[in-house]
Amino acid sequence: MSEKSAAETVSSNSAGDPLVRFVNVQKSYDGEVLVVKDLNLDVERGEFLTMLGPSGSGKTTCLMMLAGFEPATHGEIFLDNQPINNVAPHKRGIGMVFQNYALFPHMSVAENLAFPLEVRSMNSTDRKKRIDRALSMVQLDGFGHRRPAQLSGGQQQRVAVARALVFDPDLVLMDEPLGALDKNLREQMQYEIKHIHEQLGVTVVYVTHDQSEALTMSNRIAVFNDGVVQQLAPPADLYERPENAFVAQFIGENNRLQGVVEEINGDYCTVRVGDGTVIKALVVNIKSKGEQCTLSLRPERVYINPQAGGVENIVQAKVQELIYLGDHIRARMMVCGNDEFIVKVPNSADKSALQEGVEAPIGWLAADCRALAS
């Protein structure tokens, strides 16, 4: 495997051009429902791009269109600036890792890895070298003679990754490759895949519906819902600056307050929520006064007993329920008529103020409270 770094790849001949481009792609299986609606997405060279979204949002469909197993109903997909709608899957040179691994059960691990090399009529010494290198990359040296059935789930997963990379593709697609693993192993594999990606500089398009997986691994995340990309951004942006109510709700935990825009003042606005309280918030995508909007606020950005003047918004809250989670305590509160309001309280020495049924002032910064059109 040529160990090109991400930077090198980007600066190669077709510098700056995205490796993959979806242009106005639509897909329907039955001629009635559009599963993918007008997808426009560029995947940069060397990038680790994750498609994240709830079940049925069309992630796998996009991947299958890119791999060539499903035709696009409309629009064009470009790979390396070449339209590939009419290119057969085996001529696309795309590596793939499937959720169930799809390791050939009648072949040993080494034979599995040899398959793409045999197809490319590589001679057997080169083949062996490549296979050994790929196996050691996933820390499975000496497992070549085993059958897939003789491997644990995590080992099978590594073989699948090695097999998708052994023929040195520019692009690797992974469809929920860690879905079948338990939590610890999944976290370890996330790290390893990420590491391999950085080491090889290969472009990865990764599908998952586990948001923490997406946040830890990706350069950029495309949040899918209902066949539409809701937001395409680096993980931190996605978390800190969700652009619409769906993304805010889908990524991380989120408190929502419904209200009407009273006044817009540059970057900030004031919103009157359900029970009449007026709250100052950051303008994200609201346009005008009188508009219905959703205020979105992360639970960890809410302070209990804030100092007056320290935060713009202070309201009275009534504690409904406390859930002890070790490092922090989740408090469910009644705030501005919403009794699903969650506050994360660090488990510090002074938490006596919190008791079920007690009323306490809470507050937050206007900058942390995002006003989204609903």
Partner 1 sequence: MATAAHDLTSNPSAPLIADDGVPLKQKLARTTRRQRIRAFMLTVPLLAFLVITFVFPIGKMLVRSVNNPTVANVLPNFATAIQSWDETSSDYPDEAVFEAFVTDMQAARKVREIGKTVANVGVRVNYEIPGTGSLFKSASRKLAKVEEGPYKEVVLDLHKKWNNPLLWQTLKRVSNENTATFYVAALDRTYDIDGNVVAKKEELQIYVNIFWRTLWLSALITGICLVLAYPVSYLLSVLPLKTSNLLMIMVLLPFWTSLLVRTTAWIAILQSNGIINNILVWANVIGDDSRPQMIYNQTGTIIAMVHILLPFMVLPLFSVMKTIPPSYMRAARSMGGSWAYSFRRIYLPQTLPGVAAGTLLVFILAIGYYITPALVGGQDGLLISNLIAFHVRSSGNWSLAAALGTLLLVVILVLYWLYNKFIGVDNLKFG
Contact characters 109-138, partner 1, x per CB under 8 A: ------xx--xx------------------
8-state DSSP, 356: T
When the beta carbons of 165 and 295 are compared against partner 1, the nearer one is 165
Q: What burial class does residue 267 get, using C-beta atoms within 10 Å of its C-beta: 0-12 exposed, 13-18 middle, 19+ buried?
A: exposed
Pairing of strands 228-233, 220-225: antiparallel
Cβ at position 61, least distance to Mg ion in Å: 8
Can residue 33 be called a binding residue for partner 1 (CB under 8 A)? Answer: no
- What number of chain residues touch partner 1 (CB under 8 A)? 27
Q: In terms of CB distance, is 226 or 240 closer to ligand ATP?
A: 226
Q: Looking at the DSSP assignment, which residues form a beta bridge with residue 78?
A: 21, 83
Task: Considering the complex, state which of residue 95 and residue 363 has its C-beta at the smaller distance from partner 1.
Answer: 95
* For ligand ATP, the closer CB: 89 or 299: 89
Asked whether the beta carbons of 283 and 371 are under 8 A apart, the reply is: yes
Closer of 56 and 89 to ligand ATP (Cβ): 56
Among 56, 75, 89, 252, binds partner 1 (CB under 8 A): 89
* Cα distances (Å, whole numbers) of residue 94 to 21, 111, 181: 14, 19, 24
Q: Cβ distance 73 to 64 under 8 Å?
A: no
Find all residues with CB under 8 Å of 324, minimum gap 6, and list them: none
Closest to Mg ion by CB, 50 vs 60, is 60
SS3 of residue 182 by DSSP: coil
CA neighbor of 262 nearest in space, from 290, 285, 286, 281: 290
> Can you tell me which of 60, 225, 230, 244 binds Mg ion, judged by CB under 5 A?
60
Near partner 1 in 160-179, by CB under 8 A: 163-164, 167, 173
Residues 6+ apart with CB under 8 A from 252: 211, 239, 298
Which alpha helices (H) appear in 93-233, and where do they start and end? 109-119, 124-137, 153-165, 183-200, 211-217
| Least gap, CB of 311 to ligand ATP (angstroms) | 39
Q: Count of residues binding Mg ion (CB under 5 A)?
A: 1
Binding region for ligand ATP (CB under 6 A): 29, 35, 53, 55-61, 209
CB of 175 to Mg ion, least distance (A): 6
Tokens, residue 276: 């009449």
Binding partner 1 by CB under 8 A: which of 18, 53, 95, 363? Answer: 95
Query: CB-wise, 2 or 55, nearer to ligand ATP?
Result: 55
Instruction: Sort strands 20-27 and 74-79 into parallel, antiparallel or unpaired.
Output: antiparallel
Q: How far is the CB of 284 from partner 1 (least distance, A)?
A: 40
Residues that bind partner 1 (CB under 8 A): 67-69, 88-96, 98-100, 102, 104-106, 115-116, 119-120, 163-164, 167, 173
